[in-house]
Structure 1
Amino acid sequence: MTEIPGHEPASSLNTADLPPLAWQKSRRSNPSGNCVELAALPDGGGVAVRNSRHPDGPVLVYTPAEIDAFLGGVRDGDFDHLLS
């Protein structure tokens, strides 16, 4: 993972490092597997994110506040330019 000066990176684990979780994909997912899956950690401890094509691979864990800020930015269209 690339270090960014002045920024704490999200913690990175593997699926095996976590308790069993209820992973969820977007309803907009397609059969080609180009999606990420998210799961709430027990006791509100954050949100885990993984690549659906590599379910046993790396998992990034974000705090609820980080996910809230990200989703707000998505709703506001802050990241639309990344796909054009």
Structure 2
Amino acid sequence: MIDTNLLYSVPLDNVLWHKSSYTANNGNCVELAAVPGLPAIAIRDSKNPGLPALRSGAGQVRSFIHALAADTLVEA
């Protein structure tokens, strides 16, 4: 697990954001970017790119996306 303070201390000013390929061009999508120097992903709302991005380890994001695709999310 990545230290949260380290994860959020890395600036995202010059990262390349990627929109979902499932975007319907209606502004309702998320964008992903690699966090420089860490095995982590930043996630932001494409409608509000100036708001802080959620950040998480790349493995956790990958597991979340696979669970969404397989419709296997379990409520806690």
Alpha-carbon distance between aligned partners in 1 of 2:20 and 2:41, rounded to the nearest angstrom: 15
Q: TM-score, normalised by structure 1?
A: 0.65
1:68 aligned partner: 62
Q: Percent identity over the alignment?
A: 30
Residue segments in structure 1 that go unaligned for 5+ positions in a row: 1-9, 80-84
Aligned residues: 67
Given residue 32 of structure 1, which amino acid in structure 2 is its aligned partner? Answer: N
Query: Which TM-score applies when normalising by structure 2?
Result: 0.71
Q: Where in structure 2 are the equivalents of 1:1-84 lying within 5 Å?
A: 17-79=11-73
User: Which amino acid in the other structure matches residue 69 of structure 2?
Assistant: R
Structure 1 residue 31: deviation in Å? Answer: 2.2
Question: Higher RCO, 1 or 2 (CA under 8 Å, sep at least 6)?
Answer: 1
- The structural deviation recorded for 1:41 is 1.2
**Pairwise CA RMSD of aligned residues?**
2.3
1:19-76 deviation line (CA, Å, top 9, x unaligned)? 3111001121122200010001123430000000011112000101211210220221
